[in-house]
Amino acid sequence: MTDIEEVKKGTTTIGLVCKDGVVMATEMRATMGTLIAHKTTQKLFRIDDNLGLTVAGVVGDAQTLARYITAEVELYKLKRGQPMTVKSAATLTSNILAGSRFYPYWVGLILGGVDREGNHVYALDMVGGAIPDDYVTTGSGSPYVYGVLEDHYEKGLGVSEGLDLTLRGLHAAMKRDAASGDGYAVASITKDGFVSLDEKEIQKRLSKMKLA
């Protein structure tokens, strides 16, 4: 994809803050215009036990950034003897994006996680803007997700409720956005670490909400 409007589209990613952690989720479809290019695309990355990243945009740029950020976070931990905070990771990522403005990474990112200061998600744009929020969604399916989140998100909800809410949001996007689909990738991040939901658990939750 070379057009900036195309790069902004073609996926659905979500990050939301809960009272006991953070939930992050994406679907798994990759598109090239009207072609469904891949059906098992990784858009959710574990950066560290306390950090996760969702990506939208050009696949190569997204994968490169995920590797780069993971390496920097690991180096920080080795040097300092403690995990990087979410704010520091967001600032690091913002600096990488801003420093590449003339040869930009064509991506939209959500970085989320937990640290000693609490639970956080940040939206990061391709030129380095980093904005914290209670919940963020990106990509062409995001208007449908925002409709769900605006109606159902409440401060203080638990991680289990957050997992159901992200699945509900993704389901709405995948029903109406042709560029989103082919499965769910969902993870929680708490003081106990980064945990991905397996397919059985995802289907169980969808069935309980009568969405499967």
**Helix, strand, coil percent content, the chain, rounded in steps of 5:** 35, 30, 30
Q: Which of 2, 11, 85, 93 is catalytic?
A: 11
166 is a catalytic site residue: no
Cα distances from 73 to residues 62, 69, 81, 88, 132, in angstroms, run 16, 6, 11, 9, 19
Phi, psi angle pair for 127, to nearest 5°: -105, 10
Contact by Cβ (8 Å): 194, 52: yes
Supply 99's token pair. 């420093």
The tokens 């638990």 sit on which residue?
Answer: 158
Distance between CA atoms of 135 and 121, rounded to whole angstroms?
A: 7
Residue 41: strand, helix, or coil: coil
How many C-beta atoms lie closer than 10 Å to residue 63's C-beta?
A: 15
Distance between CA atoms of 112 and 114, rounded to whole angstroms?
A: 7
Active site residues: 11
